[in-house]
Structures are given as C-alpha cells and as structure tokens.
Amino acid sequence: MTEGKRVVLGVTGGIAAYKAAELTRALVKKGVSVKVIMTGHAKEFISPLTFQVLSGNPVFSDMFSQEHYDMNHISLAEYGDVMVVAPATANIIGKMATGIADDLLSTVLLAAKAPIIVCPAMNDNMYTHGVVQENIARLKKHGVQFVAPGYGELACKTEGVGRLADIDDIVEAIESAWTDKDLRGERILITAGPTREPFDPVRFITNYSSGKMGYALATMAGRRGAEVILISGPSSLPVPRGITFISVASALEMRDAVMTHLEGTTAIIKAAAVADYRPAVLSESKIKKKKGPLTLHLERNPDIIAEIGAKKENRVLVGFAMESEDLVENARAKLLGKNMDLIVANDLHQSGAGFQYDTNIIKILDPQGGVEEVPLMDKMDIANRILDRVKILTNAKRS
Ligand code: CTP
C-alpha cells in the first residue's frame, strides 16, 4: 500500500518547520521514499541536514545547483506520487494561487501532475485574511487539497486557528490521495469492537476484542472513497478520519444504532464481537460481596446480523466468525443460517490471528461453497481483501 510510494515534501519558512521532520520520519517508517525541498526561509528554522538524515536522501533548495543538476525541477515534479507542502506559509499559498514560480519549490509545484496536499500553518490573522482564504479557495478549484490547520496556542503567543494539522491527519491525507477511489458510491456500515453488558454501575461482562479489524475496514473503505458509518463498542483505537463514527457500549445500543443507520447502506460488515448474553438484571447500586458464590442470570441479546439478514434487501451482508474448532463447518453454518453473502472466518488457535493482533489469518467463505484462504498479513491488507470481495458483490447486485 504505502511501501514503495514516493512523496516530495516542500518545507517553507514557519516555526512549524520542525514538525515536517516528524512527518518525514512517519512517512519513512511506513516505507515511503521522501525527497525534501526547502525554501530559503525554511533553512532559517531547521537545518537541511535533519531532513537529509531522516529521509536518507539529498535535500533540495537551489534551482540551479550543479551538484544535483540531474534532479532539476522537472524530475522532482515527476518523482512524487503525492506532493506535500507542510508547513505551508501564506507566501507559498499566494505564489501557488497566482502561478508564480520563482524558486525550486514553487517551480516544482507548478510543474507537478501528481496530487498536491497543502498544510497551512501561520498566525491566525494571516490565515483568516480574506486574501489567503481566496487563494485557498482558488487552489481548491484547481484540485489542490488542504489539510486545515488546527485551533490552539500559536507561536506568536496568541490563540487561534493556524497550528499545523496533526501529523496523523497529514499522513492519512497522503495515503488517501494515492488510493484508488474504487468504492465511491458505496455506503458501508461497519461494526467493531466488543460490547459491554453491565450488571451494576461499576461492572460489566465483555470480551477481548480490540476493534482493530473493524477500524482497519473503516479506514480502508474511507480511503477507497466509500461513505463509511462505523458503529463501535468501547475501543482505545483512534477514530479513523473522514468517516461517521457512532460510539455504543452494549449489544442493545449497537442494535439500535445499526437499525437507525441501515437505510441507504449498500453493504454491512459486522466485525464487532457482540456479547450473545447480557445480565438479566442491572442493579442500580453496586453489588456488595456476601459469603458464598454469586449467581448472575444472563439473557440472550438480539442477534443483530440475523435481524439484518432477515430483511437484507439489496445489501451485501458480511459477518465474522471466530472459532476454536471446526472453523469452516461452523462458519458455513453461520453464513447460511443468517443469510450472509460472505463470512470471514478466523481460527482462535492460530498465532498472529484474532482479537489483539495487528495481523490476521482468515478464510472468506461464500454461499456457493467457495473458500478464499488469506494468509497472515496486516489487518489493513486483510481489510482490502475483504473490501475487494464486497465491491464485486455490490457491483453484481447493481447490474
Ligand atoms: N453477531 C451479531 N449479534 C450477536 C452476536 C453476533 O450481530 N448478538 C454477529 C457478529 O458481529 C459476527 C457474527 O454475528 O459477525 C458471528 O458472531 P459469533 O459470535 O462468532 O457467532 P454466533 O452466531 O454468536 O455463534 P457462537 O457464539 O455460538 O459461535
């Protein structure tokens, strides 16, 4: 996905220039090759050596350098799968908006055909100035993407909008920019994480689900252009960017949220580990310990996926099965019994697969008897394999 991708990073002269070093590091860590172009003013804030060491590549700033004569503005413009300017001053935004090319960075940006992402960072009066906003609007009309600055304390000791966006937001925008939008037009509802079934104000029954698989699906579906609704039980994971996020706790809450958002969806992927049972009684006060054992009576939770399966209409329905024995047989019984289009089965006994891991090993079963074996891979890549199958099915249902 990101491995082998190439970014040209333009750094301009602002106090946030040091954060571009963090961005370079984050991209390199993901296997991205980064070539940095610094403006003359940027070099007042941070040394080119920092970027050279972090990127492992020479740093460019001189238009007419003899040293890198082979890396002129055209070859740098062609190098990047994505061009990024972070931080972007009002000056570079103004130059880009008016087609001025008077140094290496502005020239490369004008010559580039790859997507351009601009991440402004400046004083809030400058950022909200009508001219800067008009320049931004004009660039947007020409297809330039912006990662808007955040609100907070600024270097000039004022508070306002103008802080460089979070590095994670910028990385997400970059990864999204080079992802083919093949799921555009799909509205995909995804459930993730565990549910919590309380029996008094401080205690509950739950499971070890981390939410990683569902969040990976939501991230990838969003990057591929789908409109995503993620309904999640409690999870410590960061909420994927650019999606609709609904936080729930219990299976009953999850059911209500799913049913409320069902309308208009083209696919539903139920990656959540929903508790099958909940305590029959929810005590209003904390249950005090007594001599002898405590018996909790449990009652069945609604089977959400079975309910959707019963009124599936034209939607694609994907479920998950986590089994400790007879993986394929048990998964197939769930697939057919609950009217799913696909079921993603994983074996609890395989190392590297399941709840807390960043990786998974799965089998994708279909009602026709097909079994696609997907070997150990990152949950992000697994998510793409599942979404590829979803895409084939949504297209087939449409035609
Ligand atoms: N599921 C659901 N509602 C429930 C329980 C499960 O929607 N109350 C969904 C899960 O999100 C998953 C699929 O059903 O996509 C299978 O979950 P699993 O717990 O493996 O299957 P169960 O049918 O509950 O069977 P068992 O627990 O007996 O293995």
Q: Where are the chain's structural domains?
A: 6-177, 187-398
Query: What confidence score (pLDDT) does residue 348 get?
Result: 80
Please name the helix (run of DSSP H) or strand (run of DSSP E) that holds residue 220, with its range, or none: helix 212-223
303 lines ligand 1 (CB under 6 A): yes
250 lines ligand 1 (CB under 6 A): no
329 lines ligand 1 (CB under 6 A): no
- Token pair in block for residue 64: 């007419």
Q: Tell me the CA–centroid distance for residue 334 and ligand 1, in Å.
A: 8
Say if CB 379 and CB 212 are below 8 A apart.
yes
Say if CB 254 and CB 272 are below 8 A apart.
yes
Task: Identify the CA nearest to 123 among candidates 161, 97, 170.
Answer: 161
Task: Identify the CA nearest to 104 among candidates 51, 57, 134, 68.
Answer: 68
- Token pair in block for residue 114: 């790859």
6-177 and 187-398: identical CATH topology: yes
Q: Where are the alpha helices (DSSP H) in 112-211?
A: 124-128, 130-141, 167-177
196 lines ligand 1 (CB under 6 A): no
Identify the three-state secondary structure at position 95.
Answer: helix
Query: What confidence score (pLDDT) does residue 152 get?
Result: 85
Query: What confidence score (pLDDT) does residue 70 get?
Result: 57
Task: Identify the CA nearest to 267 among candidates 224, 211, 205, 321.
Answer: 224
pTM of this prediction exceeds 0.75: yes
309 lines ligand 1 (CB under 6 A): no
Total residue count of the chain as it appears in this document: 399
213 lines ligand 1 (CB under 6 A): no
Tokens 């993620």 -> residue: 230
- Token pair in block for residue 58: 């020479």
Q: Tell me the CA–centroid distance for residue 397 and ligand 1, in Å.
A: 25
> What's the CATH architecture for 6-177?
3-Layer(aba) Sandwich (3.40)
Q: Which of 156, 237, 246, 374 is catalytic?
A: 156
pLDDT by residue for the chain (399 residues), tens only, comes to 788 899 999 999 999 999 999 999 999 999 999 999 999 999 999 999 999 999 999 999 988 776 655 556 688 999 999 999 999 999 999 999 999 999 999 999 999 999 999 999 999 999 999 999 999 999 999 999 999 999 988 887 788 889 999 999 999 999 999 999 999 999 999 999 999 999 999 999 999 999 999 999 999 999 999 999 999 999 999 999 999 999 999 999 999 999 999 999 999 999 999 999 999 999 999 999 999 999 999 999 999 999 999 989 999 999 999 988 999 999 999 999 999 999 999 888 888 887 888 898 999 999 999 999 999 999 999 999 999 999 999 999 988
Say if CB 226 and CB 188 are below 8 A apart.
yes
CA distance 215 to 191: 9
Q: Tell me the chain's radius of gyration from C-alpha atoms.
A: 25
Measuring CA to CA, how many Å separate 305 from each of 33, 64, 127, 343? 43, 63, 48, 11
Annotated catalytic residue 156: yes
- Nearest alpha carbon, ligand 1 atom 21: 321
- Token pair in block for residue 256: 């209500």
Please state the atom number of ligand 1 nearest to the C-alpha of residue 191.
11
Domain at 187-398, CATH from 3.90.550.10, 3.40.50.10300, 3.30.360.10, 3.40.109.10: 3.40.50.10300
Say if CB 14 and CB 122 are below 8 A apart.
yes
- Nearest alpha carbon, ligand 1 atom 27: 276
